[in-house]
Amino acid sequence: MGFSTFCTGIFNRAIENYHLKNDVNQEFTNIHKANTIESVLYLKNWIDTVQWHFEDIIRDPNIDPAAALVLKRRIDKSNQDRTDLVEMIDSYFLEKYAGVAVLPNASINTESPAWAIDRLSILALKIYHMQAETLRNDVSEEHKQQCINKLNVLLEQQNDLSTAIDQLLEDIEAGQKYMKVYKQMKMYNDPALNPILYAKK
């Protein structure tokens, strides 16, 4: 089993468990042992799943402005948590492949493994919700067919991305590619770098 398949299994389980209650305010329980890659991947997708529904809620044209502001703050926090977890996943790979002898002609990839896995997590969510659209009884057959067509494209995209992730990890393990991770320097979250925030000091 490739690492991408391993990830997708965890992501699907997180999505299914979230939808047992389908409530953005429900308590989170990690079903995996603490301090394992499984627990990090599960939490990562859970955060993505909650944020997916945050994004639905905030687009309600009748949402109370005060509630929208509170929700926007939760989305900002969710984005920061998501970024932190991506960096944790990359740290896992950096440690795992620390002893690999990098070949002289090795190249760097356009993105780190964890950011590709981040896209795989979002794809799992897109597939879940598009599948749900194909099963609705309150829409036209035309709507269903459009969603089936989109679902097929998403499944093909998932297969392609999974293949690319597994190939990237194989190349890193073989020394043919090397990892170089840059921390996400999000300036708007930093009171020392956001001019709106530091101007108030």
**Distance separating alpha carbons of residues 201 and 138, to the nearest angstrom:** 54
Question: Who wins on pLDDT, 195 or 10?
Answer: 10
Per-residue b or e along 163-198, where b marks 16 or more CB atoms closer than 10 Å to that residue's CB: eebbebbebbeeebbebeeeeeeeeeeeeeeeeeee
Between these two residues, 104 and 198, which has the higher pLDDT value?
A: 104
Q: Which has the closest alpha carbon to 36: 1, 2, 10?
A: 10
Strands (E), the chain: 107-108, 177-178
Please name the amino acid found at residue 144: K
- In which band, very low, low, confident or very high, does the pLDDT at 192 lie, cut at 50, 70 and 90? confident
Rounded Cα gap, residues 101 and 89, in angstroms: 21
Range of the domain at 162: 3-198
Per-residue pLDDT tens digits for 31-85: 999 999 999 999 999 999 999 999 999 999 999 999 999 999 999 999 999 999 9
Three-state SS for 108? strand
Count of domains for the chain: 1
pTM of the entire predicted model: 0.91
